[in-house]
Structure formats: structure tokens, C-alpha cells
């Protein structure tokens, strides 16, 4: 049977969101970040379902009603969570033939950097509660985060060596061993490994969804730093050279779409934060793009629009999200067609 990891731009049932709460790392910034989650849920609900998980969801519904979210498309489940990064602990959906199967990979807090005991159980708990209907769930026994891989739906996998080959994930597997596993599990047979590229303040060991994204029609949208004084310039220039050398399965170069570089963001301690326009979310009929109250926001929206003609492009102010070193794509996980009950 053919196994395939669908592209994010294929049809979806909904998006998984884990809501911030006082017991999470958001406790000091809850008043800043909750409006971001409210906007994400509202915008997604215009197009598809939103599955919201939190230790206590009762108060969230009222906040969403107040902004005219489409409440009949929002589903709530009360489970304990450590944090909000659904991209990395949510299920990764493959297709076997035409049927979806959920893979519940291990999540270890990006190499045991943070507690993940509750988040690592979310997929199993949602399945047990009937959220996924009859959709089967499997546990592959590998550590893998959704933010670390990009798929074109046709067997190509874009990733970073810094993350996938890091000994804090699957130390028993080398590059060839990992490719063999991902070929079996995801149907990936064309691997694009980025050896360079990073964002200061990133806790994930260079997740690809902060750096470069596969888009329709053999396009890769990627972050480009033109400021020679910026600490990222050398690494991201080398990454751009790698992207220029990548080839599709058919042997043709990719259409490369550079994304603007926002001005440096810092937290109250002076630590640089990983603001990136590559961290957009593709949903049915739209793309949600992170913005940072920056002069480059408009150009970023325009660039993403050129990769997704015909979709509504929606900016979401993600300045508060980068305070915890992530952005819009990081807090969401798409659930392809056929997954939700």
C-alpha cells in the first residue's frame, strides 16, 4: 500500500491548538499572548474546525464568542498540557491509500530541554476521547517533531541536519538509518537536507519551519538576511546557496522565494528572539502569516501571497509568541481531511 505524507496545502478537517494557561511558561505573559490565540482560532474557524486542548477550556469559549468566532466549528477537550507547541507534539498524519493514519511520534521537549510529560500524551488522550473518530493511531517509537519536516505530498522531505541528526533525538540512527525509517513511515523517498541556517533564540535545534518551507509548484519560500552586520548573514547566505543547489525529483531547480528579514527582536533580558516570516500556517482557502509590527510585514504578506495565489492572506501579530521562542506555525498542527470525528 502506498504511504504518503500529505502537503500542508492539501484539504484539511481542522487545526489543533493547545491554549496557554497559568501553569505553562506563558504565566507572565498570558495577557499578551492569549489575544494571539484568540485571533488564530477565530481566523481558522472561518475556514475549518479548531480543536482546542487545555487543562480547563470553559472560559475560552466565551472569549471566542466575543470576537464572533464560528463556534460550531470549535471543539474543546480538557487535558493537562505543559505548553502550547502543537506543531511538535501533535499527530503527524500520513495517508495509506486514501485513508488517514495518525503517527504519534515521541516528543521529548526538543532534546530534554523542557518538560513534556503531558504534551507527549495529547495525541493518545485525544484518540481515547474519540476526537479522531475511527482514524487509527500508531506509535512509531521515534522522536520527531512536526516543525522539523516539510513535505510536498509527493515523497519529498525538506529538513535540517542540525535537528534530525542531533544526538538528543534518535542517537541510535545515522542519516542513512533515519532516511530508511522515514521512507517506511512517511513514504519519503527524496530527501533535501539543509546543513546550515539557524535563528538566534531558537530552542528547537533549527526546525525547518522557521527557515524554509515547501510550497506548491516546486517552490521553496525561505528567510534571507541581507544585512551583512547581522549575526545570521553568513549562515543564511550559505543556506540560500544550498537551496539553489537543491533539485526536484525531476532534476529541475526549485523556484526560490525569499522572505524579508524583520528587524531584530529582543526580550526584556536582551536575548534575541527568533522572529521569522517562514512560520506561516496553510489552511483551507487561506494562509495565516506571522507579523511583528515591522516595516517588512507588508512585503512578507505579499511574498507569501505569490506562493499561494487564490488563497486569502491573513496577517497575525505574533510579537507575543516569539517571547517564548516560537511563532504561528509552531503553535498549530493541521489535521488533514478524514482525521476529525
Note down the domain range covering 307.
3-336
pLDDT at position 341: 81
Q: Where are the beta strands (DSSP E) in the chain?
A: 3-4, 12-18, 49-54, 74-78, 92-96, 99-103, 137-138, 149-151, 156-160, 190-194, 212-215, 219-223, 255-259, 265-266, 272-273, 281-283, 286-291, 312-317, 332-336
84 within a domain of the structure (yes/no): yes
200 within a domain of the structure (yes/no): yes
State pTM to two decimals: 0.97
pLDDT at position 1: 77
Given a cut of 70, the residues of the chain with pLDDT beneath it are none
Q: What is the pLDDT of residues 213-237, one digit of tens each?
A: 999 999 999 999 999 999 999 999 9
Q: How far apart are CA 163 and CA 148, in angstroms?
A: 7
Under DSSP, is residue 117 helix (H, G, I), strand (E, B) or coil? coil
30 within a domain of the structure (yes/no): yes
C-alpha cell at position 231: 549575526
Residues in the chain, overall count: 341
341 within a domain of the structure (yes/no): no
Q: How far apart are CA 321 and CA 275, in angstroms?
A: 9
Q: What is the pLDDT of residues 288-299, one digit of tens each?
A: 999 999 999 999
116 within a domain of the structure (yes/no): yes
Q: In CATH, what number is assigned to the domain containing residue 296?
A: 3.75.10.10
Q: How far apart are CA 26 and CA 281, in angstroms?
A: 21
33, 156, 15: which is closest to 73 by C-alpha?
Answer: 15
194 within a domain of the structure (yes/no): yes
pLDDT at position 224: 97
**Number of domains the chain contains:** 1
58 within a domain of the structure (yes/no): yes
Q: What is the pLDDT of residues 10-47, one digit of tens each?
A: 999 999 999 999 999 899 999 999 999 999 999 999 99
pLDDT at position 337: 97
54 within a domain of the structure (yes/no): yes
Amino acid at each position: 500500500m502506498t504511504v504518503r505524507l500529505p502537503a500542508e496545502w492539501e484539504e484539511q478537517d481542522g487545526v489543533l491548538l493547545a491554549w496557554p494557561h497559568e501553569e505553562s511558561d506563558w504565566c507572565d505573559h498570558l495577557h499578551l499572548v492569549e489575544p494571539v490565540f484568540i485571533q488564530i482560532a477565530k481566523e481558522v474557524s472561518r475556514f475549518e474546525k479548531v480543536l482546542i486542548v487545555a487543562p480547563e477550556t470553559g472560559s475560552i469559549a466565551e472569549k471566542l464568542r466575543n470576537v464572533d468566532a464560528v463556534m460550531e466549528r470549535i471543539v474543546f477537550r480538557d487535558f493537562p498540557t505543559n505548553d502550547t507547541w502543537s506543531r511538535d507534539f501533535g499527530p503527524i498524519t500520513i495517508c495509506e491509500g486514501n485513508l488517514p493514519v495518525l503517527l504519534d511520534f515521541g516528543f521529548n521537549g526538543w532534546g530534554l530541554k523542557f518538560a513534556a510529560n503531558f504534551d507527549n500524551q495529547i495525541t493518545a488522550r485525544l484518540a481515547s476521547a474519540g476526537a479522531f473518530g475511527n482514524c487509527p493511531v500508531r506509535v512509531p517509537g521515534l522522536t520527531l517533531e512536526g516543525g522539523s519536516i516539510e513535505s510536498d505530498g509527493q515523497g519529498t522531505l525538506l529538513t535540517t541536519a542540525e535537528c534530525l541528526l542531533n544526538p538528543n533525538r534518535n542517537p541510535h540512527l545515522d542519516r542513512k538509518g533515519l532516511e530508511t525509517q522515514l521512507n517506511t513511515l512517511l513514504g519519503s523517498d527524496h530527501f533535501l537536507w539543509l546543513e546550515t541556517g539557524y535563528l538566534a533564540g531558537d530552542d528547537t535545534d533549527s526546525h525547518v519551519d522557521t527557515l524554509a518551507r515547501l510550497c506548491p509548484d516546486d517552490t521553496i519560500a525561505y528567510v534571507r538576511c541581507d544585512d551583512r552586520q547581522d549575526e545570521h548573514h553568513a549562515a543564511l547566505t550559505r543556506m540560500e546557496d544550498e537551496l539553489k543547489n537543491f533539485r526536484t525529483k525531476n532534476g529541475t531547480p526549485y523556484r526560490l522565494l525569499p522572505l524579508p528579514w524583520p528587524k531584530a527582536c529582543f526580550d526584556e533580558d536582551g536575548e534575541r528572539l527568533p522572529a521569522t516570516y517562514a512560520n506561516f500556517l496553510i489552511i483551507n482557502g487561506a494562509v495565516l502569516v506571522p507579523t511583528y509590527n515591522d516595516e517588512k510585514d507588508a512585503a512578507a504578506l505579499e511574498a507569501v501571497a505569490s506562493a499561494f495565489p487564490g488563497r486569502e492572506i491573513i496577517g497575525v501579530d505574533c510579537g507575543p509568541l516569539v517571547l517564548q521562542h516560537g511563532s504561528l506555525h509552531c503553535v498549530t498542527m493541521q489535521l488533514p481531511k478524514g482525521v476529525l470525528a
